[in-house]
Structures are given as structure tokens and as C-alpha cells.
Amino acid sequence: MITYKVRRVRQGTSYCSRLVVAKQGDRVIFMAMASFQRPEPSVLSHQYTMPRVPPPESLVSREAYMRNQKERLNNGPVDEAKIAEYGSLPVESRAVPMPKDKRGLPINAIWLRAKGDMSELGHVHHQCMLAYASDFALLSTTLKPFEMDAPDARYKLGMLVSLDHSVWFHEPFRADEWLLYVMESPRSASGRGLAVGRIYSRDGVLVASTAQEGVARGTDSEPDQKTLEFRNSVAKL
């Protein structure tokens, strides 16, 4: 049995916060801090522009992309069980191919949407679905510079596990309509990787932002202790 305890951290007229702790027996297995705001108009509004990428209709499914990548790189048999696992998820996604001059950079982009019709559900359900889906591909963006999928990859993955994950909702959206998820990793060091993301509606509105830190451990066949450095190039996808 899982027991949830909710603590009032802040209760204001415009904002409030709640701490949720989930316990199984005597062990804490989950913690979440949730903040809420009364809707209000604002004359102060800005956002990053959505990058120009191919539309989702022109891209293959995540499952087909994974199979094509395996066949293209010729780095072992296709993991059909993993592909089937992706296919069973309640969210479909389509990877945005990176231009040749962007490969190996700590950036990533996918289109995603919930499977099925959510038109009769309230906005909170759409937020919950996007919070779930926002975990897709975010932390793995920290591995992009190391190109571990190559047959002769210099780096090998040891562990990649989430430590914490934050989501900020900016505007209403439909989780069952295509959303563009643009991700980048500004830093990996000391066995940890950090990734941040921006989620846009199809018409270019930035509807949510994310951040995730996780354990990122691996091995290097040619250790030289040098830090790979990149210029910020997400906006120029």
C-alpha cells in the first residue's frame, strides 16, 4: 500500500504550494512540490521562438526510427522488446532528425502527443499527461555529445537515472495534439547530467518548460579528462 501525505507549505491569495510525500511502509518512494496560481492577465510577456523543424506528419514513429537507427548503424540486433515497450506507451513521439552540422551536440527535439481523444477531459488531465510525457528523451540529451550508438563508440553508458524533474506550465494546451519538445544539456560533470527543455504548441506558443538532473555515468576507452565544449545552438535547429 502507498500512503500519500500532503503538507501545506504556502497559502497566499494568488499562489499556494503543497509538498506531497509518498511512502510504502516506512520508506519514502516519491516526493513532489506542486505550486498553483490563480489565473491573471499580464502585460509582461515574452518567449523564445520555436525552432523551424519538419512537421510531425513527415516523420516516422519513434518505433520505426529506433529500428532504422539500429539498421543504419549496424551496431547489433534490433531490440524488439524495447521497441514494443515504446509502442505500448500512452504517448506517441516522432524524433526530429538533426542536421549534419548539429550531430554530436547536446541538443534533441521530438514531436509528441497523447494517444486517443482527450477533448472531454479538463486541463489538469492535459497537464498530467504532459508532465508524464516530458520525461521522454530529456535526460538522454546529456548523452548526445558522446555518440554512444556508433559501432566503434569511444564512450559506453554505465548508468542513467533521474534524480529530480521539474515542469513549469505557461499556457493552456491540448496534450492530444502535436507538441514540439526541444531539449538541450548545458552541463554534464561529476557523475551527473543536467538537461532543460521547452515545449511548444503547433502554432509556436511556448506552453511549458522543463528541467531534469540525473546520474550519468559511463566509461571512456581513451580517457583524457578533457571537457567537451559547445556553443548554444538550439535556437538554430
Q: Which residues are catalytic?
A: 135, 162, 212
Place of cell 513549469: 168
Q: Which of 216, 218, 196 is nearest to 208 (CA)?
A: 196
Strand partners, 107: 184
What span, in angstroms and rounded, lies between the C-alpha atoms of 110 and 103?
Answer: 15
10 near 27, Cβ under 8 Å?
Answer: no
- DSSP conformation class of 122: -
Q: Which of 61, 129, 72 is nearest to 95 (CA)?
A: 61
47 near 41, Cβ under 8 Å?
Answer: no
Q: Which of 136, 99, 132, 103 is nearest to 118 (CA)?
A: 132
Burial class (CB in 10 A: 0-12, 13-18, 19+), 27: exposed
